[in-house]
Amino acid sequence: MHITDWIAATAAQRPLAPALIEAGPDGTPERTVDYAAITRAIERGRARRPGIRPGDRCGLAGDNSAGFVLQGLEIMASGACLFPISASVTGDTLEALAQRVRLHHLVAQGTWEQRPPSGDVDGCGDDHFRSLEPAYIRFTSGTTAANKGVVLGQQAIVDRIRAANRGLGIGPDDRILWLLPMAHHWVVSILLYLAHGACILIPRAGAPEARALASRSRATVVYAAPHDYALLADGAAPGGWPGLRRAFSTASGLSAGVAAAARQALGIPLTQALGVIEAGLPAINLRHAETKPLSVGQPLPDYQIWLRDESGTPVPGQGPDHAGEICIRGPGLFSAYLDPWRPAPPDGFFATGDQGWFDPDGCLHLLGRRANRIQTGGMKFFCEEVEAAIERHPAVAACRVAAESHPRLGEVPVAEIELRPTAAAPDPADWPPFLQSTLPPHMIPVAISVVPSLPRTPTGKIRRW
C-alpha cells in the first residue's frame, strides 16, 4: 500500500469532514479544506503530469499552508519522491540544493518546472534509488555534523505511521494544532493525521494567533517543539485549554523550565517523544509525563531500544551511570542515505549517536550526542547536562555549551546564553553559586557569555559550534 492510497481510502469515508483549517492573521479560521479536496489532490497526482516517472525526485518549495499539503499529496500520489523545501530557501541556495538532490522537478509558487538532467544519486542510473519505491527525502538537522539526505520508501512510511499511532492515538475526532515547519516534519505528522481522518489546524502568525485558533477550533492535540511551547506559554493565561488531551513535544530536548511553563499554560503536562528521521517515533512518554516530563518515555510496542558501549557491547543496568549509545530496531527504518549514497544497513537496526540511560520504570532519558561529550581531567559529561542547569536561570531563554582546550585538564566547558525578552544579563559572579546546587565543579563553565541570539537549524534545534 502507498500512503496516498491509505489517505484516499480515509477521505472517501468522510468527504465533508474538515481536513485542514488555515487561520488568518488574527487566528480566525480563514480557509477550510475538506477531505473531498484531499481526494481531488490525490486524483490529480494519480493522473500524473507529462514527464513524471515513478521515483522522480520532486522538490516542493513553500511555507506552512493548506496549499503546501495539497501539493505535497499530489506529488506523492504521482509516484514521485517528495523533497519539501522551506520557502526561506531561495536563489543560489535553492539551486545548489536542487543540484545536490539532483531534482527532476521543482514546484515553487504553484509552478511546476522540469529541470535539466543532473545525473543520478546512486551511481547506477538511479536504478537502485527507484527500486526502493522512494516517497520522501529529508535532510538530517546537521547540528553537529554535515547533514545527510534520508530516503524513505513507500512501505517504510506506511509501517512507520502504523507503529507511531499505536502511541499517538490520533483519530477522526482529533484537531491538531500544527506549529512545526512542514518542510521538515511531514511523515509521522501530516501524513499520519490525514491517514487517520483528523483535522490539522494551521496558524499563519505568532503564538497569540495560534492560541486563538486552538481555542476557536477546539484543539485536542498540540504537536510542537520546545521552542514553540515556550512561545505559547509566554503571556498565556493559566488554567489550560478546554478539550486538549495531549501536547506532544519533539524535535529537540525539553528543558525543565519550558515543561513547567507549558504545564501551567496548557493545563496538561507535555508528552515528550523521541523523533528520529532514520527511525520514526520509537518512544513516547505516555505513562510518566506528569512525574518525569524530561524523559522520552518507554519504547512503543513495535520497537526495541537498547544501549551499547563504544565497543558495541550492550550496556546493562539502570541509572545515569549505565549510559550508552541509543540503538533502535523496528518498523519503518529509513531506506537509504542520499548524499553520499548509502543503502540502509542490512542488520535492521539504527545506532543514533545519542547517549541515554534507562530508569527502573524502563523510561529512556537522553544525555546528549556522543559528539557533544566533554572530558575534563578524565571525567566525562555532556554539553546538554550543563545547558539544562544553565537554562534553569529565569533570565536565560536558551544556551549552548562547548569544549575549550585546556593545557592541564584537556577540555573545559564554556557557554553562550540567549536572554529572555526584557531580562537583564546575570552578574558573572552569580553563576558559580547558582550552578553549584546542580552541577559538580568540573561541569561549571569557565566562561558564560551573552549573545543576541543563538543560531538554530530550520527545525529549531540549537546549532553547535
pLDDT in tens, 109-134: 888 999 998 899 999 999 999 999 99
- Cβ neighbours of residue 394 under 8 Å, at least 6 residues apart? 420, 423
The SS3 assignment for 238 reads coil
- Position 256 scores a pLDDT of 87
CB 30 within 8 A of CB 55: no
pLDDT in tens, 181-216: 999 999 999 999 999 999 999 998 888 999 999 999
CB 328 within 8 A of CB 348: no
C-alpha 171/C-alpha 193 separation (Å) is: 8
Q: What helix, strand, coil percent values describe the chain, rounded to 5?
A: 30, 30, 40
Mean per-residue pLDDT, 52-81: 96
- Position 362 scores a pLDDT of 97
CB 270 within 8 A of CB 291: no
pLDDT in tens, 412-425: 999 999 999 889 99
Identify residue 249 by its one-letter amino acid code.
Answer: S
pLDDT in tens, 248-264: 999 878 888 889 999 99
- Position 234 scores a pLDDT of 86
- Position 430 scores a pLDDT of 93
- Position 238 scores a pLDDT of 80
pLDDT in tens, 421-446: 889 999 999 999 999 988 888 899 99
**Sign of the CA dihedral 344, 347, 352, 353?**
negative
- Position 145 scores a pLDDT of 52
pLDDT band at 140; cut points 50, 70, 90: confident
Domain boundaries, the chain: 3-366, 377-451
> Comparing 3-366 with 377-451, is the CATH topology the same?
no
Q: Taking 60 as the threshold, does the pLDDT of residue 464 lie above it? A: yes
- Residue 279: count other Cβ atoms within 10 Å of its Cβ: 26
C-alpha 79/C-alpha 460 separation (Å) is: 30
Cell numbers for 267: 493545563
CATH class of 377-451: alpha beta
Tell me the H-state helices in 182-297.
192-195, 207-216, 226-233, 256-266
- Position 310 scores a pLDDT of 87
Under CATH, domain 3-366 is a member of which superfamily? ANL, N-terminal domain (3.40.50.12780)
C-alpha 248/C-alpha 38 separation (Å) is: 25
- Cβ neighbours of residue 18 under 8 Å, at least 6 residues apart? 32, 33, 34, 35, 199
pLDDT band at 141; cut points 50, 70, 90: low
Mean pLDDT of the chain: 92
- Residue spans of beta strands (DSSP E) within 127-244: 134-139, 149-153, 175-178, 199-202, 221-224
Q: Taking 90 as the threshold, does the pLDDT of residue 275 lie above it? A: yes
- Position 348 scores a pLDDT of 82
CB 101 within 8 A of CB 111: no
C-alpha 104/C-alpha 100 separation (Å) is: 11
Q: Which residue has the cell 485542514?
A: 20
pLDDT in tens, 368-382: 777 787 888 777 788
Which range of 4-18, 79-93, 436-450 scores highest in mean pLDDT? It is 4-18
- Position 123 scores a pLDDT of 94
Distances, alpha carbon 205 to alpha carbons 24, 25, 218, 302, in Å:
8, 6, 18, 37
pLDDT in tens, 329-347: 999 999 999 988 999 988 7
463 vs 232: which has the higher pLDDT: 232
